[in-house]
Chain A
Amino acid sequence: MSVTNYVVLAALLFSIGASAVLLRRNAIIVFMGVELMLNATNLALVTFARIHGNLVGQVLAFFVMVVAAAEVVVGLAIIVSIYRTRRSASVDDANLLKDVREPA
């Protein structure tokens, strides 16, 4: 088996994650799609670290994990605070910035 199979798998997972972000409306599932994309990127980074024979790729993946942890904390806090005020976790209901006036 070639090592590049891992990269193909990473691309597949990334596409699924991106589709979840585009298609789902539950904010939490959208957020999990983002996490899946980050994980797929990590898999690609680890694989390329192995192909190139140095560990910088793994270090990058490590930093991606840390930043993802921070991002999840803030993102979920935003989702919870939106849910508290609007009683909904759907991304469609967060339309406070939308101009609802009738076109003149």
Chain B
Amino acid sequence: MTTLTTLLPAALDASGTTTTGEAILFWVLAPIMVVGALGLLFARKAVHAALGVIVVMISLAFMYVAQDAVFLGIVQVVVYTGAIMMLFLFVLMLVGVDSSDSLTETLAGQRVVGIVAGLGLAVVLAGVIGRATYGAPVGLQDANAETNPVGLAKIVFGQHAFALEIVGALLVTAALGALVLTHRERLTPKRDQRQRADARVAALADGVVLTPLPAPGVYARHNAMDVPALGPDGRPLEASVPRVIRVRGQEADAREYAARIDRVLAGGWAADSEPPPQASEPLSGDEPATAALDAATSQTGQNGPAAAPDQSTEADR
């Protein structure tokens, strides 16, 4: 803090004007602040307006420090820029960034009246400020003799202790009020895990699969996501391929794998080169031929194509 105050000497000379360094700071920051504030008026997106206001608030913190209000400068950064504007940005994300202004006027002539009122307010304020007489600026050297936070603390906890208590109560009330306002009443009874499990078991009668769906891929030959798993009867399981791949049409042809199984079942395992007549047939055979399949696999000593057990959940499908 001492480096800040030495970097920005806030001393006023005898005639009440500021130092050159402070003047340069002011004339650099003031246009930036006005442009940032105008973003509030002209920015089409609310996020851009919020960023403009953040620029204004950080620049204000610089000005506070330059004006011997070091404590307020820090509080400005912490409270306004750090908390309030971040809260604004969070709410903007919650409400939807693209919720832009409607340009239709619901009140006739509201825009004209608003512009006139804004300009009028500026003129009135400028008139008051221009015509008022100020005493010679005293500066805060004496008031800040024991550093700025100590001077502030003596006033806050000395003269305004009761106001500080009330402000504390206000903050607690505001936090509670925000909780109450954003509280959502539960309209449906809460379903716990037990009830959900019971409902799932009860749905078995409707043909709902209780277990997780089989994983895709024929192990020992393929483990790609687009290859359907084979059931114990050698039939490809359509449900094993993820739904996204099925919807996109990227699923591998199930008949190709079924045809190979059919070849095996027909005893044509060795004659892999010539296509058997079943290869072009659509998937129609639905009788379980597990015994024949087992015989074929034990003969060749290979692992038969098996449906892959999986640990994945239904949400993956």
Contact = CB atoms under 8 A, between A and B. Distances in A.
Nearest to B106: A92
B40 A32 contact: yes
Contacts of B244: none
B69 A49 contact: yes
> For the complex, would chain A's binding face be called helix, strand, loop or mixed by DSSP majority?
helix
Interface stretch (B86-94, B256-264, B288-296): B86-94
Contacts of B210: none
A28 B134 contact: no
A101 to B, nearest CB: 17
A39 B126 CA distance: 18
Contacts of B26: 1, 5-6, 9
B67 A46 contact: yes
B205 interface: no
Contact of A13 (B56, B79, B117, B118): B56
Interface residues of B, number: 89
Contacts of A76: 87-88, 91, 178
Interface stretch (B46-54, B191-199, B269-277): B46-54
Contact of A16 (B34, B75, B83): B34
Contacts of B175: 73
Given A1-B17, A24-B41, A51-B137, A80 B75 contact: no
Contacts, number: 242
Contacts of A79: 91, 95
Interface in A22-81: 22-26, 28-29, 31-33, 35-36, 39, 42-43, 46-47, 49-56, 58-59, 61-63, 65-74, 76-81
Contacts of B239: none
A38 B182 CA distance: 25
B170 A16 contact: no
A25 B134 contact: no
Contacts of A78: 181
Interface in B163-217: 163, 167, 170-171, 173-175, 177-178, 181-182, 184
12 contacts: A14-B121, A18-B118, A22-B113, A22-B118, A39-B80, A43-B64, A47-B67, A53-B143, A62-B71, A66-B171, A72-B87, A92-B106
Interface of B: 10, 12, 16-18, 22-23, 26-27, 30, 33-34, 37-38, 40-41, 46, 49-50, 53, 56-57, 60, 63-64, 67-69, 71-72, 75-76, 79-80, 83-84, 87-88, 91-92, 94-96, 99-102, 106, 110-111, 113-115, 117-119, 121-122, 125-126, 129, 134-135, 137-140, 142-144, 148, 151-152, 155-156, 159-160, 163, 167, 170-171, 173-175, 177-178, 181-182, 184
Given A36-B56, A54-B143, 18 more contacts: A1-B17, A11-B122, A12-B37, A18-B121, A24-B101, A39-B56, A50-B137, A53-B139, A55-B144, A58-B69, A62-B72, A66-B167, A69-B79, A69-B171, A70-B174, A83-B95, A90-B102, A92-B102
